[in-house]
Amino acid sequence: MKIDSFDPPMRILMGPGPSDVHPRILEAMARPTIGHLDPEFIRMMEELKQLAQYAFQTRNEMTMIVSGPGSVGMETCFVNLVEPGDKVIVCQNGVFGGRMKENVERCGGVAVVVEDEWGRAVDPGGLERALEANPDAKIAAFVHAETSTGALSDVETLVRIAHAHGCLTIVDAVTSLGGAPLKVDEWEIDAVYSGSQKCLSCAPGLSPLSFNERAMSIVRNRKTRIQSWFMDLNLVLGYWGSHEKRAYHHTAPVNALYGLHEALLILWEEGLENAWARHSDNHHRLRNGIESLGLSFIVPERERIPHLNAVSIPEGVDDASVRSRLLNEFGIEIGAGLGPLAGKIWRIGLMGYSSRTRNVVCCVNALKEVLS
Ligand SMILES: *Cc1c(COP(=O)(O)O)cnc(C)c1O
């Protein structure tokens, strides 16, 4: 047997995530591993928490990093907040809303799904009607940026409607955090989770998460024990909660957290508003290029995620061969469609460090060459 060290090819990551990891982050992750209860590590975690609070625009004490990808962040919200028999309204306009429904049911809850067209934002009217029809609903859950279709929903309005009906809110901000305006405190989101590998441009595998006091009081006052030991926030808090007496819960992914610290520091240095503006500017550049090739977007302009562009595949063009030529000849990765949109759209991501003018120009020119 002859196996060499793995040496990945150079790529430009312009799919639905992971995005290109900033060299500063790769360098941070290569630093020496120290103990996860080392005082210096604990100091780094305190900074990490402050940086995550900034990114989420929240003062929530319960802001932490889940040791697992965005899917574990999602599951952490549902297992902690949904008890058997609880009714949860789930707005679904793509793949990730479907996963929320799965989570509710696996927690023993009853999911009431409000379906919206794939490629459109969640319709606030649909949520309102579902809440009126289900006055016993306890939680409303929705995805801010539905990465499977490129649609961005109006979370501020959805949260306001849910609260008017006495519902707690769970928001998926995996693809929106750092790329599009997200204001957890101002919009009064109760529980929110994200991911490290989209607009934060960190390596995959971590999920920033934040719960407000209202959500935490539900966690503390549950009638039943949380079925997951690993994700039980009452236990995780012993590690992430107060830094005086941090106790072992699980071994933190030390070097991965160095990477996220650097990623959030880069975002803080750039400034959230500037990062949002950069994502929006590059979206407009890409849009001009895509339209000049005669291609079109599936999402109406005002409902688009700036950094996840869902483009219709023209009649007679072979989806897989275009993507593989982009990858093999130009080193550019773009995403395929999922579920009912498979074979119908390409998903071009401009997230985090990938959101650069150079990449827009490369991608549009490579597409032009491949399509001609
Ligand atoms: C990517 C993504 C997830 C899942 O994140 P993983 O890190 O792949 O587990 C969840 N929700 C949305 C909207 C996403 O884009």
- pLDDT beyond 70 at 243: no
pLDDT of residue 331: 98
Give the pLDDT band (50/70/90) at residue 110: very high
Query: Taking Cα atoms as reference points, which of 199, 205, 358 lies closest to residue 266?
Result: 199
Question: Which residue's CA is minimally distant from atom 3 of ligand 1?
Answer: 70
Decide if 71 is inside a domain. yes
Atom of ligand 1 nearest to the CA of 74: 10
Atom of ligand 1 nearest to the CA of 143: 13
Decide if 239 is inside a domain. yes
- pLDDT beyond 90 at 238: no
CA angle 105, 231, 115 (to 5 degrees): 30
Atom of ligand 1 nearest to the CA of 175: 15
Domain boundary among 214, 236, 268: 268
148 CA → ligand 1 middle, Å: 10
Decide if 5 is inside a domain. no
Tally the domains of the chain. Answer: 2
39 CA → ligand 1 middle, Å: 32
Find the mean pLDDT for residues 92-106: 98
Q: What is the value of pTM for the model shown? A: 0.97
Atom of ligand 1 nearest to the CA of 72: 9
Find the mean pLDDT for residues 96-119: 98
Give the pLDDT band (50/70/90) at residue 279: very high
Question: What's the pLDDT tens digit per position in 192-234?
Answer: 999 999 999 999 999 999 999 999 999 999 999 999 999 999 9
Decide if 193 is inside a domain. yes
pLDDT of residue 241: 74
Helix axis angle, 272-292 to 357-371, nearest 10°: 20
Decide if 240 is inside a domain. yes
Domain boundary among 219, 245, 268: 268
pLDDT of residue 247: 82
Atom of ligand 1 nearest to the CA of 204: 7
Ligand 1: which of 103, 175, 207 to mutate, judged by most atoms within 8 Å of the beta carbon? 175
Decide if 6 is inside a domain. no
Pair 179, 236 in one domain: yes
339 CA → ligand 1 middle, Å: 15
- When the pLDDT of each residue in the chain is averaged and rounded to a whole number, the result is 97
Question: CB 254: neighbour CB atoms within 10 A?
Answer: 17
DSSP three-state, residue 369: helix
For residue 76, give the CATH number of its domain.
3.40.640.10
Ligand 1: which of 71, 76, 171 to mutate, judged by most atoms within 8 Å of the beta carbon? 71
Pair 104, 202 in one domain: yes
205 CA → ligand 1 middle, Å: 10
Pair 264, 278 in one domain: no
Atom of ligand 1 nearest to the CA of 145: 13
pLDDT of residue 237: 84
Pair 89, 232 in one domain: yes
- pLDDT beyond 70 at 242: no
Pair 280, 236 in one domain: no
Domain boundary among 214, 247, 268: 268
Question: Which residue's CA is minimally distant from atom 12 of ligand 1?
Answer: 174
Find the mean pLDDT for residues 114-136: 98
How remote is the C-alpha of 312 from its chain's centroid?
A: 23
69 CA → ligand 1 middle, Å: 7
How remote is the C-alpha of 118 from its chain's centroid?
A: 18
d(CA 98, CA 101): 5
Pair 69, 143 in one domain: yes
256 CA → ligand 1 middle, Å: 17
Decide if 178 is inside a domain. yes
Question: What's the pLDDT tens digit per position in 32-70?
Answer: 999 999 999 999 999 999 999 999 999 999 999 999 999
- pLDDT beyond 90 at 248: no
Tell me how far apart the terminal alpha carbons of the chain are, to the nearest angstrom.
44
Pair 166, 46 in one domain: yes
For residue 324, give the CATH number of its domain.
3.90.1150.10
Pick left, alpha or beta for residue 250 (phi over 0 → left; psi -120 to 50 → alpha; otherwise beta). Answer: beta
The binding-site residues of ligand 1, defined as CB within 6 angstroms of any ligand atom, are 17, 69-71, 74, 96, 143, 147, 172, 174-175, 195, 204
d(CA 57, CA 60): 9
b/e 57-77 (16+ beta carbons within 10 angstroms → b): bbebbbbbbbbbbbbbbbbbb
Q: Which domain holds residue 185?
A: 23-268
